[in-house]
Structure 1
Amino acid sequence: MKTLLKNAREKKGLKTREVAQLLGIDQALISKFENGSRKPTKEQITKLASILEIDFETLMVIWLKERILYEIGDDDLALKAISLAEEQIKYNVSFVRKSISKNLQNLLNEIDVLKKKLDTFREFDSFRIAQALELEYTFESNRIEGNTLTLRETDLVINEGLTISGKSMREHLEAINHVEAIAYIKQLMERNFPFNERELLSVHNLILRGIIPEDAGRYRRVQVMIKGSSHMPPQPFIVPKEMEDYFIWYSENKGKLHPVILAAEMHERLVTIHPFIDGNGRTSRLVMNLILLQNGYVIANIKGDYDSRMSYYQALETAQTSGKKEDFLLFIAQIEKECLERYLGIISK
């Protein structure tokens, strides 16, 4: 792999410093990748394939081969272990493929093409663009839940510190809290912190801070019903066990599923458990977007207008009452695709 990386870089006429800037890492690491003294991460391999225009599958196969050899060496039992691993991998891949429809797989393929293109434009990322899109996300996520602040009013509350006449204090706090929650999940992403129960409760605490302080960052202690839905969330005494299973499922599947599927599943599973007295929707969408950001995707911003909201709720209802998640997975994947297209349209100019 070291020769492949160096030859591809030189063919592109790039210096190690330039590749390092595009990857966002130290220049010395590029030299170590090329002389074989350091192995890139999986994420770095994905970016290198895009930057150096190397076939992704070719580079990934070489990277995996070298990782396997490094881990097992030339032990006498290595071949037997590889044979057993091969059987398990074939089973896992077959199971995942069977569980995804052709339509969904085609949509994921389109998303991956957009993601690879996005990776080549990362140097054009802008704080102001991110700030504007995050403002829109706050506006739309709150609008889904019934907040009546307009986009402009949301901007004035967050960035100008103004109070909007005729709007409740709760609506003001929902805007402020959501922006702070976005900042928090971005911190988790940038510092590569693992997503666990503590971080989930911290996100929820930010969402309800100053609104229902006694329940902020705490699982509910009463039974709840979801307005307009036939789904009945579990009894409060079951919630801690359901949440334990939720994080076990995440640990077992975060390396197996496509990131968009993983993000959508974590959203649907959390909002189905409905572990909090309030703020479940906003928290679930933030969890979904944390996973997307961690994997190099963009925020999937579900619109809060009537038609979009009804499509969102109906897809969720189907998943919650019948266990059929196809509609919801397709819905989230389509949103992510549209958001990727929009983001690329902005930064590529």
Structure 2
Amino acid sequence: MKYLNIKKALAAWQALQPLSEKDRGRLSRRFTVDFNYNSNHIEGNTLTYGQTEILLLFGKVIGEADVRDVQEMAASNVGLKMMTEEASVKDMPLTQNFIRTLHKTLLRENYTVYRNLPGGQQTSYMIHAGQYKTRPNSVITRYGDRFEYASPEETPGLMADLVDWYNAAEQEGKLSPLELAALFHYRYIRIHPFEDGNGRIARLMVNFILTRHDYPMIVVRSRKKSEYLEALHQADMEVGPVPSDGAHADIKDIRPFMKYFNELVATEVYNDVLFVSEKDENVWWYDGERIAFRTPNYTRILNAMRTEPTLTLADMKELTGISVTAIQKLLDQLIQKRYVERGEKDGSWRVFVTQ
């Protein structure tokens, strides 16, 4: 992985085409959970990876879960499906209406946010689903300075510029799909057109552009959030603090983010290649990470759980030939890593690693 580059990753991906229906289904299920979990987790959603998988693939809620987080995750998946369907119509230009509709889908409805001011007073404001912001927004960077996004007055014009630029640049073909996706993301974030949900929309739009050009979709992993934010910050340092400059940045202006983005896509695509092509029964995957178990006993236990979720330790010993003591030690490791979980009510095993 250290010497991997985007050209080699994409070549390896193309060499696998066309994928079988089975492999397309495996990748789709994996991406559905990974993308929704990570994109929402970056923004503070508290559902675990396992809860996300059960919710999105089986429509069930397990364990304790915040109702709003559950609704947010379900809406995110609807937005992902909407984006994928829209991207498949390749001769249709991008519109502001689609972006606003996507935002409306993610947020579902208007809601009020309450904040405590430094003096102890409470203030509130309305978040508008599917509408551009009506109040200024900014962020305090990890360096302690305030970074302003486009004003509410600037936003409609800048969004019109962004969409017009994208449609023209796509037709012109001078920028690669990766450059288009990275530059769209950066310009969009500098506008920050909505009061909430901008990061989630930006990551959906990156995949809109990639899949529109027959590239695999990618996941920004929440465990690597700091790298993602630092790449954006470094690009901001080159572009400067004026929002309209950021909203009209050129590809050469965002070199730090472009470097990050190329490495991200190379890693994600190469992992897709491994996921599809590697035939090793002791290799499993969890949230984009390849797990090569050192002993086949892990695989024996995991396969036993998948075959019969209600197994007891004695049952596992009977099926696998592993001692109960050894099984318990291996289970402790699997549970600690959150690769498996046992249901509190029915006692059945849930396996969250996949092959």
TM bucket (normalised to shorter chain) is 0.5 to 0.7
1:121, 1:348 within 8 Å by CA — same for their partners in 2?
A: no
Aligned residues: 242
CA distance in structure 2 between the aligned counterparts of 1:130 and 1:160, rounded to whole angstroms: 15
Contact 1:316 1:328 in 2 (8 A): yes
Paired AA for residue 137 in structure 2: V
The one-letter amino acid of 1:278's match is D
In 2, Cα distance between equivalents of 1:118 and 1:321:
40
TM-score (norm: length of structure 2): 0.63
Q: Deviation at 1:165?
A: 4.8
* Structure 1 residue 118 displacement after superposition: 4.0
Unaligned runs of 5+ in 2: 112-125, 240-252, 279-355
CA displacement, residues 76-117 of structure 1 (integer Å, 9 cap, x when unaligned): xxxxxxxxxxxxxxxxxxxxxxxxxxxxxx944334423432
1:241-260 → structure 2 map (5 Å cutoff)? 241-254=157-170, 255-260=173-178
1:217 to 127, 130, 146: 130
Q: Tell me which residue corresponds to 1:184.
A: 82
Provide the C-alpha distance between the structure 2 equivalents of 1:205 and 1:291, rounded to a whole number of angstroms.
Answer: 20
Bigger helix fraction? 1
1:173/1:210 contact within 8 Å kept: no
Q: Is the 8 A contact 1:300 1:332 kept in 2?
A: no
Q: Is 1:333–2:262 an aligned residue pair?
A: yes
CA–CA separation in structure 2 for the residues paired with 1:266 and 1:332: 12
Q: CA deviation at 1:313?
A: 0.4
Partner of 1:226, secondary structure, is strand
1:289 has 2:218 as partner: no
Give the letter for the 1:216 counterpart: A
Q: Once structures 1 and 2 are overlaid, which stretch shifts more, 123-132 or 334-343? A: 123-132
Separation of aligned partners in 1, 2:179 and 2:256: 12
Q: Do the aligned residues in 2 keep the contact of 1:233 with 1:274 (CA within 8 Å)?
A: yes
Shift of 1:158: 2.3
**Shift in Å, 1:123:** 5.9
Residues of 1 paired with 2:18 and 2:149: CA distance? 43
Shift of 1:189: 2.2
Match of 1:236, SS state, is: coil
Tell me the distance in 2 between the aligned counterparts of 1:172 and 1:320.
34
Question: Once the two structures are superposed, what CA deviation does each residue of 1:292-336 show, in whole Å capped at 9, x if it has no partner?
Answer: 11111111111101xx11110011112224224112111111111
Higher strand residue share:
2
Q: What do the CA deviations read for 1:228-262 (whole angstroms, capped 9, x no partner)?
A: 36421011011001111111221232222111111
Sequence identity (%): 25
| C-alpha deviation, 1:178, in angstroms | 1.1
5+ residue gaps, structure 1: 1-105
* Corresponding position of 1:39: none
Amino acid at match of 2:48: T
Q: TM-score, normalising length from structure 1?
A: 0.64
